[in-house]
């Protein structure tokens, strides 16, 4: 989804297939440090802490295991000591 904050996406080609995701803030909300926590049905399955926009995937094995459950990806973007963006995206896993 494109928004005034940037581009945030979760996509899955079909039931039981891997899921790709990414959080790409626009220039106004870009920072120097990015975090992301990936949860399926409330269970943490991945996390990122890095100096570039976070993106990743959930393998087909986990997509099958959590089929029908909610995938939630949330995180923060900071610039120095200031938080410039807090984001959350979610969808139902096919």
Question: Which CATH number fits the domain that encloses residue 19?
Answer: 2.60.40.10
Within a domain: 61? yes
Instruction: State which residues form the domain around 42.
Output: 2-89
> Are 75 and 23 within 8 A, CB to CB?
yes
3-class DSSP assignment, residue 5? coil
Within a domain: 94? no
Diameter of the chain measured on Cα atoms: 41
Within a domain: 23? yes
pTM above 0.85, yes or no: yes
How many domains, the chain?
1
User: Residue 55: how many CB atoms within 10 A of its CB?
Assistant: 15
80/38 Cα distance (integer angstroms): 24
Note the pLDDT tens digit of each residue in 22-61.
999 999 999 999 999 999 999 999 999 999 999 999 999 9
């Amino acid at each position: 989804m494109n928004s005034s904050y940037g581009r945030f996406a979760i996509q899955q080609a079909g039931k039981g297939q891997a899921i790709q995701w990414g959080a790409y803030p626009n220039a106004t909300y870009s920072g120097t440090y990015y975090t992301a926590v990936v949860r399926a049905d409330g269970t943490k399955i991945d996390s990122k802490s890095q100096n570039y926009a976070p993106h990743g995937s959930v393998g087909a094995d986990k997509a099958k295991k959590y089929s029908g459950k909610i995938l939630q990806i949330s995180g923060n973007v900071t610039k120095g000591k200031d938080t410039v963006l807090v984001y959350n995206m979610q969808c139902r896993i096919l």
